[in-house]
Structure 1
Amino acid sequence: MKLSSGHDPKNYKAAPKLPTWQFASSDPTGGKLSFEREVAPSNGWHSFSRKGKVSVTGGSAATANRVYTVFNGQQLVAAINEAKNDPKIIRVVGHIDLRWSSNNTVFKEYTSFSDQKFGGSIMIPSNTTLVGINDAQGRPARFTGTTLLVGAELPLATGGDPKTDLTAWIASGKDGEDYPTWTRNIIIRNLVIDTPWDVNPEGSADAYADGMTLARAQNVWIDHITMSDGTDTPDSAASDTRHDGLLDIVRGSDYVTLSNNYFTRHHKTTLIGNGDADRAWGDDGRFHVTLFGNWWDNLQARLPLNRFGQVHIFNNYITGSTSTKDSDLKFMSGSDARYHSNQLLQNNYYSFSGLKLSDACGKVITGKDYTGFRSSGHLFVSDKIDVGLNIPAGTVTAWDGQCGMTAPTGANVWTPPYSFTLAATSSVPASVQANSGGGKLK
């Protein structure tokens, strides 16, 4: 019998078990801090708010009793519960998976959708620096079977309604920036995150759990993270979809930067804004997001898919294949400008197999119902001969990527308010491959 929620128990399928785990019980640094107290640079949207320039410090000001080193999920949750919204630094060593308990000695798979939803996520509160510490073998800390949540769309009090409360707050003349339920001032760095396998999805194409979700989160810097489905738990191990978003920024989140990250082997990569007009009450005017220095490698879609907001995408490296027979790696679509989005793309490098430049528009870059779109300075290379454009295979070609889409006009024209270095596009592949992903910070 199908449940009213749509999560039919017959669709239950446990995640494929990992052949090895990288549990740790000691800190190879002996507790010595290195990059953990670093504050975010001011080179992205994370360093602003509607009230002007801000400094994203995370937990850099943490007192000694608010610096934690954790080796399992229970220790991580305990550190968060103790520190609450105090500035805190949480150093993760080894492997975190909420299915493991008793100091990583007892494993219990999620038994249902509800079990995974309520028992498989960790909420990161305000004023937090969460970082991975490379273990004795040099491997960055890793999350599996666990969703990281930064913020949530909450009412002002238990039993209230988020939409009613926020709209009433603004209607009374109060500044939305001061709404009390925001989660703010977050730094997350140097981690490997495997997107959780949904043991009981709602439908054949609709999984639930993201690798990381930002909801009503503001002033967030996510840097040097590796995210994928993991080579041991791909969607192809089931007959339906078992993973949702890799890293989604939704429900009014704002002033966020994703830098120097490595995203690979996943379908729905990054959603910025998860609704059209029905979400305008909480999303309109929000979603200021910067994405730079990231490597999007062998992903299927959403690089990103964006609604509302002003999104700046520069100096990223995008690699993929439209001809591969591996369904977990086949490229379907890239940057997707949707309802009321306003994107600025600059100096990205696109390297593809099976896709020629004359077919890139509508595939690599597409959009509809957006407010404005600007694109320039890219390079494109493919292993496929482009007869129509007279481009031999393997030729690096300049590409503006505008794809017939219209630029913003009037009040919709915007310029990034922060200082940033726009590197030569030709330098992007080597630089991004050398610097992106977890394990690069020590």
Structure 2
Amino acid sequence: MRLLTLPTVIALTVVAAAAPALAETAPSRSSTIVVAADGSGDHTTVQAAVDAVPAGNTRPVTIKVREGTYKQQVVIPADKPYISLVGDTADPSKVVLTFDAAAKTPKPDGSGTYGTSGSASYVISAPDFTARNLTFENSYDEAAGGGSQAVAVRTTGDRQVYENVRFIGNQDTLYANTPSATTTARQYFRNCYVEGDVDFIFGRATALFHNCVIKSLSRGAADGNNGYVTAASTEITNPYGFMIYRSHLVSDAPAKTVHLGRPWPAGGSATARGQVLIRESWLGQQFKDAPWTDMSGLNWREARLAEYLNRGPGAAVNGDRPQLTREQARQHDPEDYLRGADGWDPFRSFPTGSDNRLGRQVLPENDGWAAEGAGTTGGSAARPENVYTVSTAAQLRAALGNPADNTPKIIYVKGAIDADTDAAGNPLTCDSYAVNGYSLQAYLAAYDPAVWGRDRVPSGPLEEARKASYDKMAQHVTINVGSNVTLVGLGSDAALKSFGIRITNADNVIVRNLTITDTSDCFPQWDPTDGDEGNWNASFDNVEVSGATHVWLDHNTLNDGDNPDSNQPSYFGRPYQVHDGLLDIVRGANHVTMSWNHLSGHDKVTLIGNTDNGTRYGETDKLKVTLHHNFFEGLGQRTPRVRFGQVHIYNNYYTGGDNYLYSIGVGAGSQVYAQSNAFDGIPAEKVLSVLKGTAITARDNLVGGAPTDLVAAHNAAHDPDLGADAGWTPTLFTRIDPAHTLRGTVPARAGAGRLR
């Protein structure tokens, strides 16, 4: 716990950076001062550069710091305004400003310990200060020295801006403060990264964190308490403390073990009533259902702690999570926190660069169910160190990392990557995965219906060997995509071959511009009890969205590549099927948009909901999916097959094939709204298939170029009749194109390599 009585600020001892012993140059008349550890600049330490700025400075001065690690405590005093401290690179991790003092660390002069305030690596008291493209760090080693406050930066200046800056530490990383309890200091943190565990954003300042990544480190606490993000000590006379706005609060800590914060009565203050607003942000699984708690005798309900329109697995609305009303939110806009009496407005006027690469693009507003709430942004907020370009399977797996780590990431796929290769890039075959004596010939001999019969599923050593072989293959070819990730292909040739892409229990994922092909199963199971004649059942989907929310799948090409099931042999009189679904949305997945994809050459395509038991995964109010402008070419069935969900199917183009069964499956509890689609080479009476469903809304569709009532066409050929009202009307869509235009536009623009 933080000490309530903070030590008096002491004069900081400056420790020289590890650099050649060169004499410092005289103060430069230039408005730019260069710091380089190797002596190639004006100074070798940041403090020397600050000292070169005259007291009472009245003009902008840029201190440019070249790549390197600079270990030194630095003070930028209040009488040196208009300083910009800038890393000489766009990657802030390459310019590290660090020191390793903790509150309990003895000072070199023997006068006691540093204390919380004195532990700061940097003390920045100057007004009108800017930092950009660098890292502030307190590198105190908690594992070796034990837990202690260890501040990376202590700020007390007004009108300070931090852009693309990393703040690294554990307890008390960022001390956003004011000169005194009777003064205010406004600080704007934009596109920043802050990490820590206990009270790692704390103090009395008015601070806006905008589009930042705020990471709670796991303390491994046995009591289930992995720390606190904020500890605001806002004075009761100040309506604005900390706002975390449109940011990502992430962690690798276990679910429900982290607090959003607690109010800190700094120095025993009787007038501190911390104000924190978490607004329109993404909250990871780490947060407790009751995320605010007391501190040092101050009841959190006496402070001003609230949320507004947050999302993600850690977001919730309950009696322990106060929410602003819309009217209250209007009084707590980002500009309000920074404006003050002088009208300071960096939120609107601060210049920023733009990045129009695909990885930074987000789902357009109202573009289907994935636009619900705060929409789908994927990894668009990724910091430079979390943007990857991969061209091998090993690089792809490393970039994806642990799916539980929900730090925003952008992963660009360059060229074609094959999952069926070893670490050296050598090809793998089905024999490479077989274990425990499995072979297809032995399996066929053991479970031939003439030997095994048709009234029981296979069991015994060879079936166990098949399962073990499948497990080995699955471990190698399956990749898991976590929350806040954008996975996107570069150019027109980006492809993932033989991978099984799993988006499981994640939130806020974008997959775009990829060819995803031939996810085949070397070890399908024979089931003689499946149907009248038995079936071979494969278990891999090209893409499976399982229990995930806010997923956008756009401009992808999905097929079986050069290994279609039609090329497979038949065994026991049944096709040896090595592929399952192309793109399934199952197990309570919700708020998904599929747009401008090209799916072809496959049988079972898209399953929405995988069981008729709606309570099993709580699916009766989930499985809300939009499919628009997809090209379903020569497919067999399930485009899609729907259970339970409110599914909007519009502006898709369908063509028939040799193995065509149906297009839209109306399953149990489904609420399908099929609008302005076009079907060619498909009999009107076969477009719909009733699979325990009772109704569908179908309007403005074309079959063979002619306006067709799909429900009437089905009912004329089948019993029982299908109802014509699904019971809802979609509201989340951008534009409905006339169906007669789809034959020309969708094949030309759908699929990978077609983004423009």
1:226 aligned onto 2:550: no
Task: Summarize the Cα distance change of 1:200–1:281 in structure 2 as closer, same or farther, 3 Å threshold.
Answer: closer
* Pairwise CA distance, 1:249: 0.3
Q: Contact (CA 8 Å) 2:565, 2:577: kept in 1 or not?
A: no
What is the rounded CA distance, in whole Å, between the counterparts of 1:107 and 1:345 in structure 2? 43
* Structure 1 counterpart of 2:416: 95
The separation in 2 between residues aligned to 1:407 and 1:66, in whole angstroms, is 49
- Taking only the aligned residue pairs, the percentage that are identical comes to 34
Determine if contact 2:663/2:689 at 8 Å carries over to the other structure. Answer: yes
Q: Which amino acid aligns with 1:293?
A: H
8 Å Cα contact 1:225-1:262 kept in structure 2: yes
1:129-140 maps to which residues of 2 (within 5 A)? 129-134=486-491, 139-140=492-493
1:202 aligns to what? 525
2:497 pairs with 144, 159, 173, which one?
Answer: 144
- Do the aligned partners of 2:588 and 2:617 also contact (CA within 8 Å) in 1? no
Matched, 1:256 2:592: yes
Q: Following the alignment from structure 2 to structure 1, what is the Cα–Cα distance between the partners of residues 481 and 412?
A: 13
Q: Distance in 2 between matches of 1:292 and 1:256?
A: 11
| Map 1:44-123 → 2, pairs under 5 A | 44-48=368-372, 53-81=373-401, 84-105=405-426, 107=428, 109-111=432-434, 112-123=469-480
What secondary structure is seen at the aligned counterpart in 1 of 2:524?
A: coil
Counterpart in 2 of 1:331?
660
Alignment correspondent of 2:678: 349
Change (3 A) 1:397 1:33: closer
Per the alignment, in what secondary structure is the counterpart of residue 299 of structure 1?
Answer: coil
Query: Within 2, Cα distance between the matches of 1:38 and 1:291?
Result: 19
Q: Is residue 421 of structure 1 aligned with residue 741 of structure 2? A: no
CA deviation string 1:26-73 (max 9, x = no partner): xxxxxx96222001112100111xxxx222110001110000000011
TM-score (norm 2): 0.44
Deviation per residue, 1:140-190 (Å, 9 max, x gap): 211111100001xxxxxxxxxxxxxxxxxxxxxxxxxxxxxx310000000
Identify the residue that residue 542 of structure 2 maps to in structure 1.
211
**Structure 2: which 5+ runs fail to align?**
1-354, 435-468, 527-534, 571-575, 716-721
The residue type paired with residue 149 of structure 1 is R
* CA-CA distance at 1:371 after TM superposition: 5.1
Secondary structure in 2 matching 1:258: strand
Query: What are the superposed Cα offsets for residues 273-328 of structure 1, whole Å, 9 maximum, x if unpaired?
Result: 0100265443221100000000000001101111011000000000013xx4xxxx
Give, in whole Å, the separation in 1 of the partners of 2:508 and 2:614: 28
* 1:262–1:436 Cα contact (<8 Å) kept: yes
The CA RMSD measured in Å over matched residues stands at 1.9
Q: Which residue of 1 aligns with 2:689?
A: 366
Rg larger in structure: 2
Any conservation in 1 of the 2:371–2:591 contact (CA below 8 Å)? yes
Whichever residue aligns with residue 707 of structure 2, its letter is A
Q: Corresponding residue for 2:745?
A: 431
Question: Match of 1:283, as an amino acid?
Answer: E
Letter in 2 for 1:406: G
Name the aligned partner's letter for residue 426 of structure 1. H
Quick one: which amino acid aligns to residue 397 of structure 1? A
TM-aligned CA distance change 1:106 to 1:423, over 3 Å: closer
Mapping 1:358-397, distance limit 5 Å: 360-361=684-685, 363-370=686-693, 372-381=695-704, 396-397=705-706
Distance change in 2, residues 1:94/1:267 (3 Å): same
Choose the corresponding residue for 1:311, options 647, 654, 661.
Answer: 647
Shift of 1:346: 0.5
Partners in 2 of 1:33 and 1:140 — Cα distance? 20
Residues 346 and 230 of structure 1: is their aligned pair in 2 closer, same or farther, counting only changes over 3 Å? same
**How far apart in 2 are the matches of 1:371 and 1:186?**
32
Q: Quote the Cα distance in structure 1 between the aligned partners of 2:356 and 2:737.
A: 31
| 2:746 match: secondary structure | helix
The answer on whether the counterparts of 2:749 and 2:755 sit within 8 Å (CA) in structure 1 is no
Provide the rounded CA distance (Å) in 2 between the counterparts of 1:106 and 1:433: 33
Q: Which moved more, 1:230-239 or 1:53-62?
A: 230-239
Equivalent pairs counted in the alignment come to 343
- Letter of the 1:46 counterpart: A
Report if the CA contact (8 A) 2:631-2:750 is conserved.
Answer: yes
Are the aligned partners of 1:195 and 1:210 in contact in 2 as well (CA < 8 Å)?
A: no
Q: Point out the more displaced range, 311-320 or 419-428.
A: 419-428
The answer to whether the aligner puts 1:192 opposite 2:515 as a matched pair is: yes
Q: Is the 8 A contact 1:74 1:101 kept in 2?
A: no
CA contact (8 A) 1:235 1:242 kept: no
Cα pair 2:674 2:697 within 8 Å, conserved: yes
- Gaps of at least 5 residues in structure 1 are 1-31, 152-181, 325-329, 382-395
Q: Give me the TM-score of the superposition, normalised by structure 1.
A: 0.74
